[in-house]
Amino acid sequence: MIEVEAKVAISEEEKLRILERLRSMCTLEGVRESEEEDLFFVSPHDPSFGVDKTLKLRRSDNEAKLIFKSRRAAEGLKENLEVEVRIREGDEGNLLRLLRLLGFKESVVIEKKRLSFSVDGCTVNVDDVKGLGSFLEVEVLADEGSVGDAYDKIASLLSALGLSHKKLIFKSYAEMMAAQEV
State phi, psi for 74 to the nearest 5 degrees. Answer: -150, 150
**Angstrom distance (rounded) from CA 92 to CA 16:** 36
Report how many domains make up the chain.
1
Under 8 Å between Cβ of 19 and 115: yes
* Confidence band of 51 (pLDDT split at 50, 70, 90): confident
Residue 178 has pLDDT above 70, yes or no: yes
Range of the domain at 170: 2-181
pLDDT tens, 66-108?
999 998 877 778 999 999 999 999 999 999 999 999 999 999 9
* Confidence band of 144 (pLDDT split at 50, 70, 90): confident
Q: What is the mean pLDDT of residues 21-50?
A: 91
Rounded to two decimals, the pTM is: 0.92
Q: What is the mean pLDDT of residues 49-63?
A: 91
Report H helices in the chain.
12-25, 92-101, 147-160, 173-181
Q: 101 or 61: whose pLDDT is higher? A: 101
Residue 64's CATH number: 2.40.320.10
